[in-house]
Amino acid sequence: MDDGFAAISHPARRALIGELAERNDQTLFELTVRLLERHGLALTRQAVAKHVGVLREAGVLTVTTRGRTTIHHLHAEALTPVRDWLDRLPRQADHPRITEEQS
């Protein structure tokens, strides 16, 4: 489960996961452009590649080569342990916050 938390611990990796969830099987160039255009994250291809490496280590995505093109494929099921852990937490509606006025 620690790998799953490492995968989602950085905003760029969460954005990468979101982009691949929306449109799977993208190149590094496509992902880099989408991070800039859609999320305002001006990262170099090398920086995006490092984040991709963390996601690969966590099993969240795989990288395949088709000719000279490298394709990134999301495996969201790798985040199931994180989702299951979050589902066990109480909902805010179940435990409303105490405001300063109430204390």
More confident site: 95 or 88? 88
pLDDT category at 83 given cuts 50, 70, 90 is confident
Give the whole-angstrom CA distance, residue 79 versus residue 60. Answer: 7
pLDDT digits (tens, 9 = 90+) for 35-65: 999 999 999 999 999 999 999 999 999 999 9
Domain that holds residue 67: 2-87
Residue 94 counted as domain residue: no
Centre a 10 Å sphere on the Cβ of residue 43 and count the other Cβ atoms it contains.
18
Mean pLDDT of all residues in 14-40:
97
Has residue 93 been placed in a domain? no
Backbone angles phi, psi at 18, to 5 degrees: -65, -40
Let me know if residue 101 belongs to a domain. Answer: no
Total domains in the chain come to 1
CATH number of the domain where residue 23 is located = 1.10.10.10
What pLDDT sits at residue 95?
A: 60
> Does a structural domain hold residue 64?
yes
Instruction: Measure Cα distances from 75 to 6, 18, 56, 94 in Å.
Output: 15, 12, 10, 32
Which residue did the predictor score with more confidence, 80 or 16?
16
Domain contains 37: yes
Considering only CA atoms, give the Rg of the chain: 17
Residue 49 forms part of a structural domain: yes
